Amino acid sequence: MSQQADQPGALSSEGAQGGVLIIDFGAQYCQLIARRIRELGVYSRITVPDRAMFTLNHMKPQAIILSGGPCSVYADDAPKLDPAVLEQGVPVLGICYGLQWLAQHTEGQVLAAESGAEYGRTELQPLDTADLLEGVRADGIVWMSHGDKVQKLGPGFEVLAKSEPCPFAVVGDRERKLFGLQFHPEVHHTVDGQRILQNFVLGIAGCDDDWNPGNLAERKVQAIKDLVGDSGEVVLGLSGGVDSSVAAVLVHRAIGSRLHCVFVDNGLLRQGEREGVEELFRDHYQMDLKVVDARERFLTELKGVSEPEQKRKIIGRVFVEIFEQESHGFDNAGFLGQGTLYPDVIESVPAHGGATSTIKSHHNVGGLPEHMKMELVEPLRDLFKDEVRALGREIGLPSSLVDRQPFPGPGLAVRCLGEVTHEKLEPLRRADAIVREEIESRDLHKDLWQYFAVYVPQKTVGVKGDARVYQDVCVVRLVSSQDAMTADWESLPTDVMRRVSSRILNEVDGFARVCLDISSKPPGTIEWE
């Protein structure tokens, strides 16, 4: 029962009016636009073109942003958007494809670029630095990524900036408050991108900058009460990570003892994970917690499976089956609680009905069965990770939990390449514990988003005790990030890296080599599968 991210529902912030409505034409990183807007203190929400007018009337936004997209506006399969969105008296900003759509529907003309597609950095030459481009430096770098270009502007539009290959880099109709950018202000390569968004959202549109994840707690709790009712019971999958923990506390505040947390030991956990969850939630928070030992069941289901997407879908299916089985003991447990986040939704399904391709299925979104007997309770579905952490602090969760590194729902299965077996999991679990111990003991984890080990079943020659060995590879993955949508690889002080490598090779049987992953996201992902 996966929901569309823009679907009205009781557990998102969609009931709030105002803010910025982002219409997604299939941009892979449309969520970055939403994230940048929220960084300005303004609520943002994404919807699809064919639901835009419905959402607009429901949300009553103060501004509209049209995203980029992979199609050509003149193509037969181009996303269809009602031009009436331009007649609502709401300021509109088109980005890349959004600019081209705007031009096409205001008597302009869009054609394939004569000189071919334009990708990468280019220098922006502002011609008018009022309103939208106020404070934007001359010859500043912007990021282009387009195969078509605007050839002619409609009446009322003027050119506000150009670049060497793009004569219509920034355009605007000030009277109607319609603006367009051929480049992408949401990516960090555009040096003044956030300033441009700020000028549009806070200046031109005059949006209220009162968005704060911390002030969501009461609304989330009330929404859960409204959804579950006076007698409904929720079975919540508790992993002990920050997402499921924040979700559990919110649901517990809403319905108390009618929340039944289920911790599934799937055999894919980090070292000490099960014991930590039991101590914190059963002993400290006094929540109803049942631990289900499903280690053999999961490994049996995963036997012989190497394809990453198949692994994720199997894990998702088995999780749901276990939750449904556990719910039979509760008369009114018609709800499944999850700590699903906005990036989970974006990466798991074609973005909001658009043309974006699926990156990977998260077990709690794309890995769920098409038909479920339980209704989902997902209070964090519209939030990014750092917003969830802020919400966790607001509701009083300890920093040791709020600031802990993310751990994927499929667990070590997505860090164990190929078939998942006991023989791989145990050395991986130990290697991962060593990585965490060495980093956390030196307080280096505060500068990292995630830090973990990966099992690569690739035999390589080594020497141990003067004898030749032929064993597998352990990869150490260290990344910094803000919202998990993009990430940079990181390293550690040389002495720490040496100790991590030495301990893994000496204390863990099965590895002949330790490597450091120096891939950013994109093009890589944070997890290996």
3-state SS class at 303: coil
DSSP-derived pairing of the beta strands 335-337 and 375-377? parallel
Task: Give pLDDT, residue 345.
Answer: 66
3-state SS class at 433: helix
Please name which of 423, 446, 432 lies closest in space to residue 477, comparing C-alpha atoms: 432
Per-residue model confidence as pLDDT tens digits over 437-458? 999 999 999 899 999 999 999 9
What's the distance, CA 311 to chain centroid?
Answer: 20
Strands (E), 341-439: 375-377
Domains of the chain (ranges, CATH numbers): 20-204 (3.40.50.880), 213-402 (3.40.50.620), 415-517 (3.30.300.10)
123, β-bridge pairs: 141
263, β-bridge pairs: 291
Q: How far apart are CA 4 and CA 340, in angstroms?
A: 13
DSSP-derived pairing of the beta strands 92-95 and 118-126? unpaired
Asked if pLDDT for residue 351 goes beyond 50, the answer is: no
Per-residue model confidence as pLDDT tens digits over 461-497? 999 888 899 999 999 999 998 767 778 999 999 999 9
Asked if pLDDT for residue 241 goes beyond 80, the answer is: yes
Mutual orientation of helices 385-394 and 217-228 as an angle, nearest 10°? 90
Q: Which two tokens stand for residue 139?
A: 């010859």
Task: Give pLDDT, residue 346.
Answer: 59
Q: How far apart are CA 84 and CA 55, in angstroms?
A: 13
Return phi, psi of residue 405, to 5°. Answer: -70, 150
3-state SS class at 118: strand
The fraction of the chain above a pLDDT of 70, given in percent, is 89
Per-residue model confidence as pLDDT tens digits over 62-111? 999 999 988 888 888 889 899 999 999 999 999 999 999 999 999 999 98
Q: Which two tokens stand for residue 495?
A: 């002495």
Task: Give pLDDT, residue 261.
Answer: 92
The residues assigned a catalytic role are 96, 184, 186
Least confident range of 37-46, 338-347, 361-370: 361-370
Higher-pLDDT residue of 347 and 136 is 136
